[in-house]
Structure 1
Amino acid sequence: MFRLKYIILVNSFVYISFTFSNEMSLHSILNCTTPNGSAGFCVYDEECPPLMQIKYSKSKTRNDSMFLASSFCGYVREKLKVCCETKNTSSCPSIYEPTVESVCHYRGHEISCNEPMLNGVLMYSNCKPNHIPVNALNRLKCVNMTWDQPLPKCKYNCMYEWRCNAHLVIGERRYPVNRQIIQSLSQRFIELSSLNNEDVILNDMEDINSLAVANLLTFIHTNRTYDWQPRLYTDMIKFSHLLNINGIDDLCIKLLENDVNVNNYLELLQIYKKSNNSMLIYHVKFYIVDNFHELMLEEQWLNLDVSDLYWILERDDLNVECEGQVFEGLNRWMQKDWSRRKEHFTKMLKFIFLDRLPPKVILETIMKLCAEASKDCVPMLTDKVHWNNDLDVSKPTRKCRKYNKSTILIIGTYNLESMTIKIYNPDEGILSDFTDIKMENVYFSTVVLNRKLMIFGGKLNMLYDTNRVWSLDLGTKRLRELSEMKKKRSFSSAVVIDDLIYICGGFNPNDGYLNSVERYNPVDGTWSFMAPMLTTRYNHASTTYDGKMYVIGGLKGEEYLNSVEIYDPKLNQWTHGTPMQTHRISFSVAVVGDGLFAVGGYDGISYLSSVERLDLVNQKWMKVKAMPEDDVGVAVPYDNRIFMINRFVVHEYIPKKNVWKNSTGHINKNFRYFRVLPVLQRSLNTD
């Protein structure tokens, strides 16, 4: 393996130099035998105090010099290394913690963590399955014979050791659980378990990731989502379905919205497709839609699956500034492997709005690619583009797709047995069905937040006031129930400020008319009481402007109100606003520009056609053009206009011109108790 080359004497330290035919193995770098036959580490000379003491000794003998020379074991970047007896090596203490799994690295090599660690060793730790961390699991480094961070510690996943009174057995792994907690969540666990048997064997779950099982059991027992990784969500959802535990898939989706990012979206999409989890696939795909321009510039974009690219290009709601960015994303993906991908170019080009591209791009880039792609491409391009002799190749167009285009969501009922949701397109006057919900509820309040329609309280079966809360995912059309409000409420109002939802006022038989305000945090699903309104009220209206909430009108007992209250969430404080000129209930408010419009309603005597506008700068009300007829429908702002929608007709108000006109289309005379909300088209899954 090597031959003796020469012997040199430097600073009274004799080194024997060798010429090696191969690089040193890990064994030769870290482990060696000292001249006296003891086990040692091959380290830099300054890391071995006994040899350094001999090296600089003034009374060094010939035997000492030969011992030093025989201790030589290599060099790195001209730094000499010696074989130092293990017990004498400057090192950090070894780590053996039965609840922790650790991996150690030393200068690029993986080594055992169960022996003394040399300076420079890096240690990475994680809790073993069924355990949660006691302290932070930071990367540790051995510096000057000590670890630079506290040593990692973990504990069993039950909140208290005595609560673990059974085991789930999956393959060769045993997971400690509390029988009563699991039985309260899982009917299948009840069927499998026996009071006289501590082990519950699950034979159909061997392929589920053990960390996913441990994380889910930790959450069930401690309500902690520690180390929930998006790549594990499919296994966690599968495990929860096999045990018939509800709610885990919704929790994973909620966490995924924060976890998916530019670095992992493609990996997650592939994982979720393999597991055929349509819910998770949908949320990752819409992450791509929302971040198209950023993602298509990254390297990962080039590896996107062809079927996913077809789906993305077909969307009319990509978040792009102009159509040129869509073609740029297609072209970058094509050029990654043009010879194989060009067969898709003609079909994918049909999803590009060519009339929105600069003519120069069509003539100089697309035409050339078409000629190379297929014989059908150029004729298709010629038919799709309206050529003319005056084509200006230097004039770009910047029309975008409809990413920020809104539509109107209408929620109501025909028969009180279910809730029907429709989509109304004001520009085209078209009303279309969206979905139905099995829910017998009226007089509820609603908001749309993060592609979810949230429904708060109401009156079930027209009889019982409720504090229940529901969330309808507008993409998957899945309905789930959220944590309940602290108070039962019908005829309340709801608004969104900074992604937090505020529910104001309302009525229930036990408390009567309410002035209480509750705030819902969608991130952790918690409700909190905020400062109460200055007046009890129900059947009122509310909206937001400049980060503040305006609550207007309504009923206080038998009194019809025209008062206005303004809530500042930063101060958690209410102040009186300028009252309306008319007392109103069952009316709507809409903000357009710096004006707040109160539309229609009922004043205790008659239904109203009047409309008044609050100047939000000067805080003064003034009458504006009245509606063509008395109305208690629902007004909604849309594209700097206001649409007043009732069962029979849609009225359109143009604030700049102060005019009303009848819009095309109507809802349905049998459609009752409805709410109307503006919503982005991209939020809706209309496939």
Structure 2
Amino acid sequence: MMYFKSLYVLTLMAVVTFVHSETVELEKEQQLTDYPVTIVAVGPPYDGSNNCTVQFYHPSRDAWTTLAEIELNVYNDYSTIISNGKLYIFGGKKNEEEQSDEVISFDLATKEIKKLTPMGQKKKNVGVAKLGEYIYVTGGNVETYHKIGTVERYDPKTDSWSGMAPMLSERCDHASNVYEGKLYVAGGTDESSDAMKSMEIYDPTLNKWTLGTPMNQARSDFSIVFVDGGLFALGGPEKLNADDVFGERFDLNTKQWKHFRNPFEDTMWLSGVVLDDMIFISGSKNNFKYNTKTNEMVKINPNNRFAPNFLLWSTS
């Protein structure tokens, strides 16, 4: 899961047999718990305020609806994940010099907000991923630019934290995701603020990290998703405003990375989720739907938020 730059909600709706009035249809679409799967995300508006907007997407109308505005004590660089119908927000930037250790939950059905047990350190730009019943928070920035390899495991049932084996490298702005019971972490920036190629794989049964095959290109502020037998690295230029950025696909059988032509107009702060073998992608300017088999990209309606982080929520 990639750390947040913002958040929005895509909803997959059942086919409606009878056509009702537009008002009734909208009311039904706004009842998120009526639908089996939604794509959720959180993030600030362009004005730099501390409000975090939660939106969801109507595929049939290619339109967005705002579910909530959450007021935070941070304005950027926080990280988000969904677990059991709740959106969790970790850390972030209070100002240019101060990070946050705060953790907040937002119930997507009831809209209840709770302040939870804080993390062990004040930090921003962490990686977050759900593995089993736990949420793993990896790496991040502490102080101003100091990177860490710390791993903390959060238990939503007990609202408690446990320290786990640290990563092999300190990093922030990295991508993380879970596949077949293991946590994959890739890229990010190191202590010198240089982008990284390395990938690490965590086995929770052994509480141990091992090195995976490094990517061909150093990346940060990007996303990794599993689909079609591979791990896709989406965007993440080695240097700011880099041109001609390629995506990469990691073959889970051969353990090798191969470039594929990246058709994205955006290359930084990409976030992706997989639904029906399609990758729904948010960027700093545009949102897309990507077919990995045909390498075909279709734009979807933008939501006027800065680089939303797309997340999946199963409501059933």
TM tier relative to shorter chain = 0.7 to 0.9
Alignment correspondent of 2:208: 573
Match of 2:63 among 419, 423, 430: 430
Structure 1 residues 496 and 608 mapped into 2: Cα distance closer, same or farther (>3 Å)?
farther
Q: Is the partner of 2:265 in helix, strand or coil?
A: coil
Contact 2:227–2:274, Cα closer than 8 Å, also in 1 = yes
Alignment correspondent of 1:602: 237
| 1:281-308 deviations in Å (ceiling 9; x for gaps) | xxxxxxxxxxxxxxxxxxxxxxxxxxxx
Alignment correspondent of 2:43: 412
Contact 1:607–1:630, Cα closer than 8 Å, also in 2 = no
Structure 1 residues 618 and 568 mapped into 2: Cα distance closer, same or farther (>3 Å)?
same
| 1:42-71 deviations in Å (ceiling 9; x for gaps) | xxxxxxxxxxxxxxxxxxxxxxxxxxxxxx
Alignment correspondent of 1:649: 286
Within 5 Å, which residues of 2 pair with 1:78-97? none
Higher Cα Rg, which structure: 1
| 1:533-556 deviations in Å (ceiling 9; x for gaps) | 000000110001000000000111
Q: Distance in 2 between matches of 1:674 and 1:509?
A: 25
- Is structure 2 residue 100 aligned with structure 1 residue 466? yes
State the AA in 1 paired with 2:185: V
Q: Distance in 2 between matches of 1:626 and 1:426?
A: 24
- Is structure 2 residue 45 aligned with structure 1 residue 421? no
- Is structure 2 residue 137 aligned with structure 1 residue 500? no
Alignment correspondent of 2:217: 582
Q: Distance in 2 between matches of 1:608 and 1:491?
A: 25
Contact 1:443–1:490, Cα closer than 8 Å, also in 2 = yes
Structure 1 residues 674 and 654 mapped into 2: Cα distance closer, same or farther (>3 Å)?
closer
Within 5 Å, which residues of 2 pair with 1:207-218? none
Q: Distance in 2 between matches of 1:426 and 1:631?
A: 24
Q: Distance in 2 between matches of 1:640 and 1:627?
A: 17
TM value normalised by structure 1: 0.39
Within 5 Å, which residues of 2 pair with 1:233-252? none
Aligned residues: 284
State the AA in 2 paired with 1:492: V
Contact 1:609–1:627, Cα closer than 8 Å, also in 2 = no
Alignment correspondent of 1:11: none
Alignment correspondent of 2:24: none
Structure 1 residues 662 and 436 mapped into 2: Cα distance closer, same or farther (>3 Å)?
same
Within 5 Å, which residues of 2 pair with 1:194-343? none
By relative contact order (CA 8 Å, sep 6+), the higher-ranking structure is 2
Alignment correspondent of 2:23: none
Contact 1:413–1:673, Cα closer than 8 Å, also in 2 = no
Q: Distance in 2 between matches of 1:649 and 1:564?
A: 28
Alignment correspondent of 1:666: 302
**TM superposition shift of 1:412:** 1.2
**TM superposition shift of 1:646:** 2.2
- Is structure 2 residue 149 aligned with structure 1 residue 515? yes
Structure 1 residues 603 and 531 mapped into 2: Cα distance closer, same or farther (>3 Å)?
same
**TM superposition shift of 1:641:** 0.8
Q: Distance in 1 between matches of 2:284 and 2:208?
A: 38
RMSD (Å), alpha carbons: 2.4
Q: Distance in 2 between matches of 1:661 and 1:428?
A: 18
Q: Distance in 1 between matches of 2:226 and 2:61?
A: 23
**TM superposition shift of 1:563:** 0.3
Structure 1 residues 404 and 579 mapped into 2: Cα distance closer, same or farther (>3 Å)?
farther
State the AA in 2 paired with 1:430: A
State the AA in 2 paired with 1:653: Y
Q: Is the partner of 2:195 in helix, strand or coil?
A: strand
Q: Is the partner of 1:520 in helix, strand or coil?
A: strand
Contact 1:442–1:462, Cα closer than 8 Å, also in 2 = no
> Which is richer in strand?
2
**TM superposition shift of 1:608:** 5.4
State the AA in 1 paired with 2:206: L
Q: Distance in 2 between matches of 1:599 and 1:436?
A: 28
Q: Distance in 1 between matches of 2:224 and 2:99?
A: 24
Q: Distance in 2 between matches of 1:628 and 1:496?
A: 27
Alignment correspondent of 2:168: 534
**TM superposition shift of 1:613:** 0.5
> Which is richer in helix?
1
Within 5 Å, which residues of 2 pair with 1:3-152? none
Q: Is the partner of 1:475 in helix, strand or coil?
A: coil
Q: Distance in 2 between matches of 1:627 and 1:609?
A: 9
Q: Is the partner of 2:310 in helix, strand or coil?
A: strand
Identity percentage of aligned residues: 33
Q: Distance in 2 between matches of 1:620 and 1:426?
A: 35
Q: Distance in 2 between matches of 1:463 and 1:672?
A: 22
Structure 1 residues 501 and 628 mapped into 2: Cα distance closer, same or farther (>3 Å)?
closer
Alignment correspondent of 2:255: 619
**TM superposition shift of 1:428:** 4.4
TM value normalised by structure 2: 0.83
Contact 1:531–1:574, Cα closer than 8 Å, also in 2 = yes
Alignment correspondent of 1:377: none
Structure 1 residues 535 and 621 mapped into 2: Cα distance closer, same or farther (>3 Å)?
same
- Is structure 2 residue 107 aligned with structure 1 residue 476? no
Q: Distance in 1 between matches of 2:186 and 2:238?
A: 13
Structure 1 residues 464 and 613 mapped into 2: Cα distance closer, same or farther (>3 Å)?
same
Q: Is the partner of 1:556 in helix, strand or coil?
A: coil
State the AA in 2 paired with 1:626: N
Q: Which runs of 4+ in 1 moved over 6 A?
A: none
**TM superposition shift of 1:531:** 0.3
**TM superposition shift of 1:512:** 2.1
**TM superposition shift of 1:427:** 5.7
Q: Distance in 2 between matches of 1:525 and 1:662?
A: 41
